[in-house]
Structure 1
């Protein structure tokens, strides 16, 4: 069996007005979250974040600029998801990234993974997500967005 690595990413997708994209899990209806996913092989974590963003929403991280928040959360893996990891693995290290898009926009969900999406103000979104680390990341968004340099993707040459 191919086990998941206990290294994952959390990608907060937000607008300049601090509306946040949340997606509803297909395997747990009612569980809302930001984009998440596990590292594959030896890919750099920024590549994991860009890949997961594309797979789960159809958004291109390179078109908007991916921000590494330099934040890692270590948490206990929920018991109902531990079977996805090697025997004895109980904790995961989650690396947080952000992507600022110009405005709320339609996204293309991976139907096997997600049922629905919604754009919400950051504070309402923080109260809707099921994961404490996701909620903490959303609550830090106003300060992070205020401190973030104005980043734009590099122009194609």
Structure 2
């Protein structure tokens, strides 16, 4: 029997998700891994498929920025859609066997997995042939509403992209677009239909079970290989707030970043953050969690090495002299905007944004 390895990754920034998907696809093509199902949540983002019309994005760039919503062009099918927290995104990375090499059949099978999963919650969903996705209500009815988007890409029978099921999704963000270019129907979520919050991990487990059933596969579980932390160090507040940037030595990449480090066996992320902060800067101050944990692929390693990173913030007392470790050759205190411009990785940028926002809340500006 075919095997299907299920990865429950939690929060994944969209650009990191694209990289993950590409790494898994390349590893599958090289037969370094078997079929995989990546289950995750994205930060708020609009994605434009190959058939997207820009006018279906109703919001201005300024409004998107104020709402914290990014915009990306992708190679999947379909028009524009929204991803955000509380929505389960699934990326099936399958190398379809000869007997399943039928695009329409594959789309129907993905839809069936979602429909069968919703049925377990008492939600009777179906398809509307002229519109992509999974729907509640009948075609032409005034209450017809989409609960899951489908957008796939197949190249030489290797599948990428997939589906997005609204579980506890922030539905007002769909007002920023014409979802999938369809003006005649609305959008809903499991939370809205059921009247209460729904456990995302439970939904992921249900989806994984139905994917294994529909695609006749034996389920396997996998997760992250490495756990790391990031620490945004701040001093000052308001317009005078500054972020500590450190530069790696050339042998370690030569790029600017905030403080990062690997969680060692027996350590909690909080313990790691405090240790790394002292080792890398000489600071011995409390660290505070930022309620932000995300996953990404490390480098270009195949099969992909998965990392889960937890973000923290620490405040540097005025007058403290930063003492760098041998891993870094320079440091600078820069404005938050400069830090965001310099940081290459979205996860580190998100940590800085959250740290600065928290500083503002605590100091009143």
The TM-score bracket by the shorter chain reads 0.7 to 0.9
> Residue 107 of structure 1 aligns with which residue?
322
Over alpha carbons, which structure has the higher Rg? 2
Per the alignment, residue 43 of structure 1 pairs with: 267
Cα displacement string for residues 69-111 of structure 1 (whole angstroms, at most 9, x for unaligned residues) = 12101111122xx5xxxx8452211000100123364211112
Q: Which residue of 1 aligns with 2:246?
A: 23
- CA distance in 2: counterparts of 1:99 and 1:132, whole angstroms: 20
**Partners of 1:139 and 1:103 in 2: how far apart?**
21
Contact 1:6 1:89 in 2 (8 A): no
The aligned residue for residue 32 of structure 1 is 256
Give the secondary-structure state (helix, strand or coil) at the position aligned to 1:140: helix
Q: How does 1:65-104 map to 2 (within 5 A)?
A: 65-79=286-300, 82=301, 88=303, 90-103=305-318
**Aligned residue for 1:153?**
none
**Which 5+ residue runs of structure 2 have no aligned equivalent?**
1-224
Change (3 A) 1:104 1:118: farther
Deviations 1:55-76 (A, max 9, x none): 1111112xxx211112101111
- Residue-pair matches, total: 135
Alignment RMSD, CA only?
A: 2.1
Q: TM-score, normalised by structure 2?
A: 0.35
Give a deviation string over 1:14-63, Cα, whole Å, max 9, x none.
0132201010011111x1111100001121111100111111111112xx
Change (3 A) 1:69 1:6: same
* Higher RCO structure, 1 or 2 (CA under 8 Å, sep 6+): 1
- TM-score with structure 1 setting the length: 0.77
Unaligned runs of at least 5 residues, structure 1: 151-157
CA distance in 1, matches of 2:345, 2:297: 11
